[in-house]
Amino acid sequence: MLVFWFNMGSAEVHDVVVQDNNFTPANISIQAGDTVRWENFGNNNHNVASTDLSFLFRCADGCDDTGGDGNPAGLGWVSEVTFHLPDSSIPYVCEPHVGFGMTGSVSVQTPSEFQIVTVSDSDGFEPQELTIVQHDRVLFIKTNGAHNVHADDDSFRCANGCRDDGIEGEDEFTGFPWQFFKQFNELGSFPYHSDNPDFPVTGVIHVVTDTIFANGFESF
Ligand SMILES: [Cu+2]
């Protein structure tokens, strides 16, 4: 059993090498909540631009959506995109070299283990308080009303997308149905709230180490 505890999850960042003129690996598979990091080792100007309308990102020297510049750029740029929802295949291209076959895809799997927190007008965040192990993932689901999930310390803000994940989305409170996976990689307590002024509901996630769980604290 202990082997399981120590093998559970880690901060998952998947590297893709950008060269003249291809992506390596071109097709990768990740879990929802993971991050893909592209780095340009080539001399040509490259970028990464999604062609899937539900996962819009365009990055090179940063991503368009997060104030960066997704125009093709030369040697040395690094861009990261975090994927919060499963999808069988999210295709992307390098815009100047798509005609040369410079294409790739990200397949996002449902995590094998995760906790669920729902939010609604009537019940607020449920469970209101949750303790998880470092690197665990939480699936937040809005079941009714207009809400988002905003960390009190402003470290994250998500709804139909998360701020700063590189993907075009809505992180302010919204009545649009949404759900997202978030991985918690930092230890500590993370109180959060909905920004809806009519339903200012709150919750908290406690992130602890494997060791604390192994010592039996979870039974309390
Ligand atoms: Cu290119």
Mean pLDDT by 10 residues, the chain (220 residues): 47 93 97 97 97 92 93 97 95 98 97 97 97 96 98 96 93 96 96 97 96 56
Task: State if pTM tops 0.85.
Answer: yes
pLDDT of residue 5: 43
Ligand 1 being an ion, which residues bring their Cβ within 5 A of it? 21, 46, 94, 97, 102
Q: How far is CA 55 from CA 32, 160, 195, in A?
A: 13, 11, 24
Distance 100 CA to ligand 1 centre (A): 8
Q: Which domains does the chain have, with CATH numbers?
A: 2-109 (2.60.40.420), 115-219 (2.60.40.420)
| pLDDT for residue 218 | 52
Distances from the Cα of 143 to the Cαs of 54, 147, 161, 167, in angstroms? 21, 10, 16, 23
What pLDDT shows up at residue 1? Answer: 40
Per-residue pLDDT at 186: 94
Q: Do 63 and 82 form a contact (C-beta atoms < 8 A)?
A: no
Q: Return the number of other C-beta atoms located less than 10 Å from residue 173's C-beta.
A: 23
How many angstroms is it from 96 CA to the middle of ligand 1?
5
Tokens of 199: 């339903």
Q: Give me the pLDDT at residue 168, please.
A: 92
pLDDT recorded at residue 214: 57
Q: How far apart are the CA of 97 and the centre of ligand 1, in A?
A: 4
Return the ∠ at Cα 114 (arms to 112 and 120), rounded to 5°. 140
pLDDT at 7: 42
181 token code pair = 């996976």
pLDDT score of 180: 97
- The owner of tokens 């192990």 is 133
CA 18 to ligand 1 centroid distance, Å: 8
pLDDT on residue 210: 82
